Amino acid sequence: MTGTSEGRTDDGRDRDPEGRARNARPRDGLGRPLPYGADGVERQPEGVVRSPAESVGEAQALLDAGKPFHAHEVFEDAWKSGPDDERALWRALAQLAVGLTHAARGNTTGGARLLRRGAGGIEQWGTDTGRARPHGMDLAHLAAWARELAGVVERDGQPVDAGEWAPRLTGAASR
């Protein structure tokens, strides 16, 4: 494979150094692709192994900055690299972040659906494991936050401000 320094092959496809498909276009704070050469938000590196506390802290900082798409990538790393018995938890948290991303982009149907799916996932994980506050996260408050936001986006049919709606992962939900 012949490539360029920008991650694009000679045939115009974006690939990472290992040759896997990877969109090299810059992205905005909500993860939407921008034109090549535009100034975008720095992307989260993929495949980073963090402790649960580091994952929660990094995701919270990204959520607070109005970057739920990027927080989803942190949760996805935890989901893929964490212990098997926590994968469903991290997957559900990633769904919450993607739901907030869609709600902020104005995709009310997809946003509400993912928020509810993520809420159900964290509730089910808490029920199955008997853990209501894993890694300091209050699952009941997160589920309530997600369901409230799902109702708001369905009722209003308008994009929400991702930073204003950022949940508090380790405390009561922000709204």
What is the reported pLDDT for 113?
98
Q: What mean pLDDT comes out for the span 96-121?
A: 97
Residue 114's pLDDT is 98
DSSP 37-49: TS--BPPPPSS--
pLDDT of residue 31: 84
pLDDT for the residue numbered 27? 87
* Residue with more model confidence, 75 or 13: 75
pLDDT at 4: 37
What is the DSSP code string of 78-139?
HHHHS-GGGHHHHHHHHHHHHHHHHHHHT-HHHHHHHHHHHHHHHHHHHHHHT-SSGGG--H
User: What are the structural domains, with CATH classification, of the chain?
Assistant: 1-43 (no CATH), 52-156 (1.10.3450)
Q: Which two tokens stand for residue 67?
A: 């970057």
pLDDT, tens digit (0-9, with 9 covering 90-100), for 60-78: 999 999 999 999 999 999 9
Q: What is the predicted pLDDT for the residue at 79? A: 95
CB-based contact 77:50 (threshold 8 Å)? yes
More confident residue, 20 or 88: 88
Q: Encode pLDDT of 124-174 as tens digits.
A: 999 999 999 999 999 999 999 999 999 999 999 999 999 999 999 997 544
Q: What's residue 139's pLDDT?
A: 96
